[in-house]
Amino acid sequence: MIGVHSTGPHSDQPLLYDDKCEMLCFLLIFMFGVGICFQSHSYYDHGKNTKLKSASVQSEESNFWNAGDIPTLNRKVFKGMRVTIREHPYIASVRRCIMHYTVATVLTKNLFVTVAHPLIDVPLDQLGIVVGENYADRGATMLTVVLMIVHEAFDRYTLAADIALLRVFQDLTFRCSVKFIQLVHPMTQLNKKRAFVTGWGRCDRTGRELCLPRSGKYTPGEKFDPMLRTVSFILNQPNQNCERYKQNGVILKAGMFCAGPSRQKQEVVPCMAVPGAPMVVNGHLAGILSWGYGCGYNYDLPLVYTSTRHFQPWLIHNIPILRRISSNNLTFLFEGKRAYILSKWLMLTRVVSPTPFQIPRKPMEVKPLDKVLATLRGRVYDIRDYMYGGIHHKYKKRLYDKLRSNMYRKKTTLANFTYNPQGPILDPDFTMTENTKVTGILNVGDNGTDSEYDDYIP
């Protein structure tokens, strides 16, 4: 197609353009939007108001890591077998600014489980999920993450309770390449069973394996392999090689289990050190890869997984609540996330910067959804925790604590209520809630005012 376009004083001089030019313009606009994610961000620990400290970093030339530190995974895959997504349709790719970031597992049509430590301070506007793809650098549709629930006992320094749930706005359409996986039964014996661990990792540095190298902002100096791979091994419990962690000052917390082979016994053994990679036994989810000193070091040890059997009460409590929340209930979070991303894009692309958004000097309004989310066990994050420097986060945390306290008081009152047939007929719900009912805006300041909320406004 050839068109004619006239501009300004040179209207007599036609400007020719074709479809390629139009596509180039759209591509440039898209790249400007993606460029938002490449701006420098400063993240901080919401709980301690301190900048984040990276976990211990180990060297491939050293024998072991520093005593007492938690060795983080190096995202390496060694001698992993290439597979298709149809063989493991429960695998999902968590994207950060479009790029693959970590691995998640499909639990329901809109719920995923993964490890918490890679995501704990990543702004929710940067996260999305892609399913049904063999390659981690492809995908036609990205699901919008609107909620993240991190276990209440998670510790970034010991990686205890390293588990999180991700709720997306859109519902999945199950097909041959997208299916959910069930949790393993708590009483299932895993000893002597074959386990499969699947995910995407970085290329082998020896160069002896086929790899399609990619690079990314969040894995500097590494060559990422977008092909889906899996490794398998027989579970042996107890695993004598896991004792080396204890000898080097690392004690496995409750909910952690060490599994897999060690290069101290087998010099050439397949391994995968990818955070969030699921361990599947007999078609059921038994664990999620969390940390460990293995896969590519001189003295490999078995890796450490988060046990879904141990955290099954936490999952069983939260999953039904999240399943009852419809997309309509999450619309305001979805629209808020999209609007926030658009506002950042406008700030980046406009020649004249728009007027900065003025934060209203009043608390957040309590939504009906907040009362439901307060019933979840764990730390609940949504886009409101990260907008405008995270000024709402502390207030939202105190708001949820207040809601949970009211719910606990309500349950306690019901438990202590005794029916007296000789007395007047009373409604225990009315008696219990008439002084604690939450409506409109909730003031959570210690003195009953909003003064504490003012401290969070710069």
Q: Distance between alpha carbon 316 and the CA centroid of its chain, in Å?
A: 18
End-to-end alpha carbon distance in the chain: 53
Residue 106 — pLDDT band, cuts 50, 70, 90?
A: very high
**77-318: CATH superfamily:** Trypsin-like serine proteases (2.40.10.10)
- Of 143-147, 151-155, 237-241, where does mean pLDDT reach its minimum? 237-241
Paired tokens of 445:
């300041």
Reported as a single tens digit per residue, the pLDDT across 348-376 is: 888 887 776 666 666 667 788 999 999 99
Question: Which has the closest alpha carbon to 215: 122, 106, 99, 324?
Answer: 99
Q: Report the chain's mean pLDDT, rounded to a whole number.
A: 77
pLDDT above 90 for 166: yes
- 174, burial (CB in 10 Å: exposed 0-12, middle 13-18, buried 19+): middle
Rg (CA), the chain: 26
Paired tokens of 313:
């009460």
The Cα–Cα gap between 46 and 389 comes to 11
Per-residue pLDDT, 165: 98
The proportion of the chain whose per-residue pLDDT surpasses 90, expressed as a percent, equals: 41
Per-residue pLDDT, 225: 84
Question: Which has the closest alpha carbon to 120: 316, 245, 224, 275?
Answer: 275
The Cα–Cα gap between 380 and 392 comes to 13
pLDDT above 60 for 431: no
The Cα–Cα gap between 227 and 224 comes to 9
Per-residue pLDDT, 140: 83
Per-residue pLDDT, 77: 86
Reported as a single tens digit per residue, the pLDDT across 223-267 is: 888 899 999 999 988 888 888 888 888 889 999 999 988 876 666
Per-residue pLDDT, 395: 83
Question: Which has the closest alpha carbon to 325: 146, 172, 152?
Answer: 146
Cα separation values, 350 from 136, 249, 329, 357, Å: 32, 53, 33, 15
Per-residue pLDDT, 300: 81
Per-residue pLDDT, 30: 43
- Of 85-89, 251-255, 351-355, 445-449, where does mean pLDDT reach its minimum? 445-449
Q: Distance between alpha carbon 62 and the CA centroid of its chain, in Å?
A: 31
Q: What is the mean pLDDT of residues 301-318?
A: 94
- Of 127-131, 266-270, 276-280, 281-285, where does mean pLDDT reach its minimum? 266-270
Per-residue pLDDT, 68: 61
Domain spans of the chain, in order of start: 3-38, 77-318, 359-454
Q: Give yes or no for a contact between 181 and 372, defined as CB atoms under 8 angstroms apart.
A: no
Whole-structure pTM value:
0.77
Residue 182 — pLDDT band, cuts 50, 70, 90?
A: very high
- Of 42-51, 72-81, 258-267, 398-407, where does mean pLDDT reach its minimum? 42-51
- 427, burial (CB in 10 Å: exposed 0-12, middle 13-18, buried 19+): exposed
The more confident residue out of 365 and 156 is 156
Reported as a single tens digit per residue, the pLDDT across 7-17 is: 343 434 333 33
Highest mean pLDDT among 17-21, 272-276, 285-289: 285-289
Per-residue pLDDT, 380: 95
- Of 60-64, 84-88, 364-368, 402-406, where does mean pLDDT reach its minimum? 60-64
The Cα–Cα gap between 416 and 202 comes to 58
Reported as a single tens digit per residue, the pLDDT across 35-60 is: 545 454 433 344 443 333 333 333 33
3-state secondary structure the chain: CCEEECCHHHCCCCEEECHHHHHHHHHHHHHHHHHHHHCCCCCEECCCCEECCCCCCCCCCCCCCCCCCCCCCCCEEECCEECCCCCCCCEEEEEECCEEEEEEEECCCCEEEECCCCCCCCCHHHEEEEECCCECCCCCCCEEEEEEEECCCCCCCCCCCCCEEEEECCCCCCECCECCCEECCCCCCCCCCEEEEEECCECCCCCCCCCCCECCCCCCCCCECCECEEEEEECCCCCHHHHHHHHCCCCCCCCEEEECCCCCCCCCCCEECCCCCEEEECCEEEEEEEECCCCCCCCCCCEEEEECCCCHHHHHHHHHHHHHCCCHHHHHHHHHHHHHHHHHHHHHHCCCCCCCCCCCCCCCECCHHHHHHCCCCCEEECHHHCHHHHCCHHHHHHHHHHHHHHHHHHHHHHHHCCCCCCCCCCCHHHHHHCCCCCCCECCCCCCCCCHHHHCCCC
pLDDT above 70 for 113: yes
Strand partners, 104: 92
Residue 62 — pLDDT band, cuts 50, 70, 90?
A: very low
pLDDT above 80 for 96: yes
Residue 169 — pLDDT band, cuts 50, 70, 90?
A: very high
